[in-house]
Structure 1
Amino acid sequence: MMSFMFQLLREDEGLPPAVVFEDSTSPGFVPLWEEIGVYEALYNSDGKRAREVSRAIAFGVDRASEEAALTRLLPAGLTLEEAVRFLENVHRGCTTHPVAEVKTR
């Protein structure tokens, strides 16, 4: 199974884009991302600025942290804690590098 990669790229004038944040996770989380409202911010945000997706990610962290029943959406081997860790990392990256460009794959 391939992983989903979320990156933030910073472009300094005259220099090639630099990856300032990168994390990956399982595509098995897609049903959870859809349920908590972060799918668009994660998968359809190429070219946007990090600050444009950080609020949606923050709401997703809150929902995933507070609703243990969301575990029902996860395939065997994946945990809600892992999902929250990934979203927290992405949110931290977005708030640390608000003007960085989002790249996903």
Structure 2
Amino acid sequence: MSFVFRLISQDEDAAPSVAFQDSISPGYVPLWEKVGVYDALYNSDGRRGRDVSRAVAYGIDQLVEDESLGRMLPPTCRLGEAIRFLENVHRGCVTHASAVIETR
């Protein structure tokens, strides 16, 4: 089972639609806690993309600046995948700033 981060957009007269979606293994949770993005990812249901974009950007900076953080990951997880996921989430949150976050 993987963690899914979605941004749901709703135009005035249209039905809600998925504006952005990405997923990642739950094996990254200790890393998310260490770099300060756990709440922005896992406790953000109902918030707007703009509400978490700054925390996600900070997490990306932490990962890029300190490659030793990769040592806390289980063998099946990769630091590059963590960076890719956070960069995608950040881009989605900036692009769809008013979209509502939904996680699973």
TM-score using structure 2 length: 0.97
| 1:90-101 matches, cutoff 5 A | 90-101=89-100
For 1:69, the equivalent position in structure 2 comes to 68
C-alpha displacement of 1:88: 0.2
For 1:48, the equivalent position in structure 2 comes to 47
CA distance in 2, matches of 1:69, 1:84: 13
Q: Does 1:5 align with 2:16?
A: no
* Length, aligned pairs only: 104
Letter of the 1:78 partner, please give it: C
What percentage of aligned pairs have identical amino acids? 60
Unpaired runs of at least 5, structure 1: none
SS at match of 1:23: strand
| Cα RMSD for the two superposed structures | 0.7
Select between 32-41 and 9-18 the one with higher mean Cα deviation: 9-18
Q: Does 1:39 align with 2:38?
A: yes
Unpaired runs of at least 5, structure 2: none
CA distance in 2, matches of 1:94, 1:71: 24
Deviation track 1:80-101 (CA, whole Å, cap 9, x = no partner) reads 0100000000000000010000
Letter of the 2:37 partner, please give it: V
C-alpha displacement of 1:79: 0.8
